[in-house]
Amino acid sequence: MKTMNFTKYSPYPTVGLADRTWPDRTIEHAPVWCSVDLRDGNQALPVPMSVDEKIAMFRLLVSVGFKEIEVGFPSASATEFAFVRRLVEDGLIPDDVTIQVLTQAREHLIRKSFDAISGARHAIVHLYNSTSTLQREVVFRKNMEEVKAIAIEGTRLVRQLKDESRNSGIRFEYSPESFTGTELEYALEVCHAVMDAWGASKDEKIILNLPSTVEMSRPNLYADRIEWFCRNIKDRDAVLISVHAHNDRGTAVATAEFAVMAGADRVEGALFGNGERCGNMDIVTMGLNLLTQGVNPCLDFSDLPRIREVYRRCTRMDVHPRHPYAGELVYTAFSGSHQDAISKGLKARGQKGDGLWAVPYLPIDPEDVGCTYEAIVRINSQSGKGGVAYVLEKEYGIQIPKWMQPDFAEAVQAVADRTGEELSAVKIHDLFHSEYIRLQGEVALKKCNISWAEGDGGASGATTTLISSVVSYGGRELSFEAEGNGPLDAFVKGFILAGGFEFTVEEYAEHAIGHSAGACAIAYVRIGCPEGRVSFGAGVDSNISLASIRATLSALNRL
């Protein structure tokens, strides 16, 4: 086996925080959310959204409940600028929603950004410059003081332009970009300088966004950095600590959750994790993670299919079938043991009645996010008897008894193995009918009359069932009359006597299919023969007595 060259990489430095407290904290309320779908998400698309597509996405984000939305980088292109102006001039921004625009710390870009938000009631100007060791040395070739000066000068200009606009609804956010690649003490130094330049106070808070621009470490180390920063920042009540995590290591959601536990007030992210490289932190996943812990996410994901459809249409990106909460297969079980556990869990929850969700393999109620139960259990060669039974009961009201489920599951398994395909509910229903109900064989009912005779005790005495039947069997017709303690008992006695074939009914079950006056009845039987063979059958009729007889003939034919 070839050994990969692991020696070219160095471990991420730890934080000297022996008395860290965040691991023992829980998230008790949602953070302030800020969607970056229209900026960070959009700039990562192979085909960026048009103005109309961005408006459709903006309306979706508003409907979900976002109160802060980063709408673009208006100084970067004419399309970005036109979109922001359209939002403002057409009155598309609700009064309780704040738009956010991103700008580099350059004078002409900052001024262009203020032109874009002119007339907006509430806006955040998001200023950034990279402070990381690598970018200082390789990209900008500037020392620490020079990089800090860029942040200070940019902040002062934003302060000046805000004051000139006389718009008290303009707020300020600063990001030391590549925070995870910046020395902690230096990041704090730059942020303190920015706070001073802005004049941050309890009454006019500054947003300090500490991005994991490139995910470089385990999420616990990011949380350590956030807790260290929250402890050491001056005038904590003058600051909102924001986090912006990317998914390069696949742990952006954990990174953001740990950061909130470590003291962060605000979280930036995108629907379904869209964004540069491996994407941004997925707000859908984090929000619904909170929901499953009994915390109000303050975002409405109750119609995920609609959200997914608008997202796909606007971004031309797909949502993976296994994507947490939103994927088309995440509420689907193919495994037999999973199917059986889900089916039992749903039934038990209905009987318990305490309102709490507790179903095996389903951490969330699919109906809470606009999904249905129909797709929870799907059948292929990996499926088991419980899943097959669940599909028939859910879709068609056919409640196969436990003692018969393995027999039908074997028939389903044979078809699935032969075709190598998933079997739809329609195919399973058709297979049930062909296997039991429509089965043609040597035995067929030609005629059957049923009557009852009261016992000597009158109305309170035992009732005897009388049956007169004609059955075709082995190429001949059998006519017989018999009596028993019920229609099925009488029929079995008469058939055995006339046909000379010995068997006993070992199991029996019945129920109605549907609830209307014209509902049919279905019966299930298991019969056994003296030599040890067993067979299962099912029968459907508007008369339950005839349904039980048809089920017995079905079992005889399957022998």
Annotated binding site for Mg(2+): 40, 244, 246, 280
> What are the DSSP calls for 321-377, one per residue?
TTSTTTSTTTT-B-SHHHHHHHHHHHHHHHHH-S----BTTBSS-GGGGT--GGGTB
What are residue 521's DSSP bridge partners?
Answer: 512, 541
Alpha helix positions (H), 475-536: 487-499
Interhelix angle 405-419/385-396, rounded to 10 degrees, is 100
Calpha distance 514→112 (Å, rounded): 67
Residue whose tokens read 């004049």 = 199
Q: What would the 3-class secondary structure string for 403-417 be?
A: CCHHHHHHHHHHHHH
Q: What would the 3-class secondary structure string for 113-150 be?
A: HHHHHCCCCCEEEEEEEECCHHHHHHHHCCCHHHHHHH
Calpha distance 553→559 (Å, rounded): 10
Calpha distance 132→190 (Å, rounded): 11
Phi, psi of 461, deg, nearest 5: -80, 180
Classify residue 442 by its DSSP letter.
Answer: S
Query: Distance of CA 483 to CAs 276, 478, 492, 509, 541, Å?
Result: 80, 16, 10, 21, 21
Counting Cβ atoms within 10 Å, is residue 502 exposed (0-12), middle (13-18) or buried (19+)? exposed
Calpha distance 207→171 (Å, rounded): 8
- Amino acid identity, position 75: S
Calpha distance 496→39 (Å, rounded): 80
Interhelix angle 51-64/78-89, rounded to 10 degrees, is 50
Calpha distance 153→159 (Å, rounded): 10
